[in-house]
C-alpha cells in the first residue's frame, strides 16, 4: 500500500470514528435533556422544592394575622415561636407593615432576632396601624387590594395565623387564586389553640357539598404547632390546575 493510500485510509477511519462518537454524544445529550425534563416535571407536579444541594432555600414568607392581640396566651406564644423558627431558617417576613397587635408581635420578634422584614401598608391605615420603624423594606400603597397584590407578588409562601375578617379576606384570596392555578405557592395555616377548627369544618363541608372541587388539604396545609410550619412549607404539594383554566396571555 502506498503512503497516500495509507494516509487516505487513516483519514476515512478517523472520520468514521468521529461520526460514531458524535452520534453517541448527541444520544447522551438527548437522554440527559429528557431526564432533566422528567425531573423538572416531577418537581412541578409533586413538590415546589428540591434537595439538589445541601444549601438551605430561603423564602420570603408572607404572614396574614390580626392587627389586635388575641386573648389566648397560647396563640401569642405560638406566633412568637413561629417567628423564631422563621428567622432561624434564614427566611424573611412579608406582612402588613403595622406595629400593633399580633402583626407586630410577629414582626417585632423577627426584628429582635435580626431577621429581614418587608412591610406593606395602605395609606389610609397609617394613622390607625402605625407603620413600623424597624422594617427593612417599607411600602405605602393606595388600598387593600394593592396591598394584597404586592404581598402575593413579593412572597414565596403564605402562613395564616389567627385573625379576623381582614385575615380571612387575605386567606381566601390566596386559596382562590391557588385553586385557579394563578398562585403556585405554599399556603399553611397554624391552627394554634384550635382557632381555625370551625373554618376547617366549613371547608370540609364545601367539598362534601360539591362546591369545592378538591378536599381543602389540596389547597392548604393545617398544622397545630409552630415548629411544623416551615417543614409544611418545604413539603407542600401544589394542587393541580383545572383543565378549563386558560393560560395567561403574554
CATH code of the domain containing 143: 3.40.50.450
Alpha-carbon distances, residue 229 vs 49, 200, 214, 216, 238 (angstroms): 15, 17, 22, 17, 16
- What is the average pLDDT across 35-39? 41
- Does 81 share its domain with 131? yes
Q: Cα(45)–Cα(47) distance, rounded to whole angstroms? A: 6
Average pLDDT over residues 5-27: 48
Least Cα distance to 166 among 188, 185, 177, 151 occurs for 151
Q: Name the burial class of residue 95, with classes exposed (0-12), middle (13-18) and buried (19+) by CB atoms within 10 angstroms of its CB.
A: buried
- Answer yes or no: is 148 within a domain: yes
Q: What is the pLDDT of residue 198?
A: 98
Q: Which of 16-20, 81-85, 101-105, 126-130 has the lowest mean pLDDT?
A: 16-20
Check whether residue 32 and residue 116 sit in a common domain: no
C-alpha cell at 227: 415548629
Q: Is residue 243 one of the residues assigned to a domain?
A: no
pLDDT at 134: 80
Both 64 and 33 in one domain: the answer is: no
- Do 229 and 125 lie in one domain? The reply is yes
177 with 96, same domain? Answer: yes
The percent of residues above 90 in pLDDT, for the chain, comes to 68
pLDDT (tens digit per residue) in 180-219: 999 999 999 999 999 999 999 999 999 999 999 999 999 9
- Residue 10 sits in the same domain as residue 93: no
Residue 245 lies in a domain: no
Confidence band, pLDDT 50/70/90 cuts, at residue 57: confident
Say if residue 130 is in the same domain as residue 12.
no
- Are 18 and 140 contained in the same domain? no
pLDDT at 97: 93
Q: Is the domain of 162 the same as that of 206?
A: yes
Domain for residue 162, yes or no? yes
96: containing domain: 60-234
Residue 172 lies in a domain: yes
Model confidence, pTM: 0.78
Cell of 240: 393541580
The structural domain count of the chain equals 2
In this predicted structure, what is the pLDDT of residue 101? Answer: 95
Question: 242 in a domain, yes or no?
Answer: no
Q: Quick one: 124 and 12 in the same domain?
A: no
C-alpha cell at 214: 378538591
Measuring CA to CA, how many Å separate 41 from each of 37, 38, 76, 192?
6, 5, 40, 35
Enter the C-alpha cell of residue 179: 385553586
For residues 166 and 81, membership in a common domain is answered with yes
Amino acid at each position: 500500500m502506498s503512503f497516500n493510500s495509507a494516509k487516505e485510509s487513516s483519514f476515512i477511519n478517523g472520520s468514521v470514528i468521529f461520526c460514531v462518537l458524535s452520534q453517541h454524544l448527541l444520544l447522551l445529550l438527548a437522554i440527559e435533556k429528557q431526564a432533566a425534563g422528567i425531573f423538572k416535571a416531577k418537581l412541578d407536579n409533586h413538590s415546589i422544592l428540591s434537595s439538589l444541594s445541601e444549601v438551605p432555600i430561603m423564602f420570603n414568607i408572607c404572614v396574614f394575622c390580626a392587627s389586635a392581640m388575641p386573648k389566648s396566651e397560647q396563640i401569642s406564644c405560638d406566633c412568637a415561636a413561629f417567628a423564631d423558627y422563621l428567622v432561624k431558617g434564614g427566611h424573611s417576613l412579608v406582612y402588613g407593615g403595622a406595629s400593633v397587635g399580633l402583626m407586630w408581635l410577629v414582626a417585632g420578634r423577627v426584628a429582635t432576632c435580626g431577621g429581614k422584614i418587608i412591610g406593606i401598608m395602605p395609606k389610609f391605615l397609617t394613622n390607625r396601624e402605625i407603620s413600623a420603624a424597624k422594617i427593612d423594606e417599607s411600602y405605602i400603597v393606595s388600598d387593600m387590594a394593592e396591598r394584597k397584590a404586592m404581598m402575593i407578588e413579593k412572597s414565596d409562601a403564605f402562613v395564616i395565623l389567627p385573625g379576623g375578617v381582614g385575615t380571612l379576606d387575605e386567606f381566601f384570596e390566596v386559596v382562590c387564586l391557588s385553586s385557579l392555578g394563578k398562585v403556585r405557592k405554599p399556603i399553611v395555616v397554624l391552627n394554634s389553640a384550635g382557632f381555625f377548627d370551625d373554618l376547617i369544618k366549613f371547608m370540609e363541608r364545601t367539598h362534601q357539598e360539591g362546591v369545592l372541587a378538591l378536599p381543602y388539604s389540596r389547597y392548604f396545609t393545617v398544622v397545630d404547632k409552630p415548629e411544623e410550619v416551615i417543614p409544611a412549607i418545604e413539603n407542600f404539594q401544589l394542587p393541580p390546575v383545572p383543565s378549563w383554566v386558560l393560560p395567561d396571555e403574554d
